[in-house]
Amino acid sequence: MNEIIRKNIFNFCRFLLRCFTRHYRVCYTTKDIDEPAVYLIHHQNLKGPLISMAWFDRTVRPWVLSVFCNHSACFRHYYEYTFTKRFGIPKIIAAIIIYPLSFCVAALMRVAQAIPVYRGSKDILKTFKQSIYALTSGQNILISPDIDYTDKSTNIGELYKGFLNLEKLYFEKTGKHLAFVPLHIKKRERYILVGKPVYFIAQDNFKKEKEKAYARLKQEFLTLENISYGSFKL
């Protein structure tokens, strides 16, 4: 797809998404960073990524499960689980709905330059390879690492830690530590809060530092969740 055409389609899709969502303002709780980063958002059953793609003031490439990046795999996923088992829609009706929908979803993933996540497969190496290429090209990444992605509560729960391995690859490629930046949506006040970037401090014991970075990320999420309206009002 021609890059100019892709950007125009993306901007149009973003405009439509904004038409169907409430307006959110972006508020930085610390000084903005001028470097590629991995932004982390609570999934909240798709609400987090959608609001971030619509209103966040940085262009980001989202991590998306690989099944949604291919129309045939998307069809099977929707047909075998989402529409029939989760929503309880009869199979014939589900197939009629899903067939055109699967093409649209896969096309939108290409427009958004989504990075496929091959969970539970050796192809996950492709995910990391594409991600490092994006980061070293100056692009940002958006990840929703929730273990329970259907959790609709405002506070984030436990997270998969695999995304933190991007640090090791990024450091090997650039000699720099990678910024992991928590985002938090304040629904009532309609703000997207941008937290302090979390960096790995040491490189000699990656496994131990990975646990420390994870703990700092969880603490930063907790800080964002507890910020009151008056303390970040613009």
Nearest 5°: phi and psi at 215? Answer: -60, -40
Tally helices (H) and strands (E) across the chain.
8, 7
- pLDDT higher for 231 or 122? 122
Query: Is pTM beyond 0.75 here?
Result: yes
Q: Report residue 198's pLDDT band, with 50, 70 and 90 as the boundaries.
A: very high
Q: What is the 3-state secondary structure (H, E, C) of 73-108?
A: HHHHHHHHHHHHHHCCCCHHHHHHHHHHHHHHHHHH
Q: Report residue 232's pLDDT band, with 50, 70 and 90 as the boundaries.
A: low
Q: Report residue 203's pLDDT band, with 50, 70 and 90 as the boundaries.
A: confident
Q: How large is the average pLDDT for residues 137-161?
A: 92
pLDDT for the residue numbered 140: 98
Quick: pLDDT tens for 9-42.
999 999 999 999 999 999 999 888 989 999 999 9
Quick: pLDDT tens for 157-178.
899 999 999 999 999 999 999 9
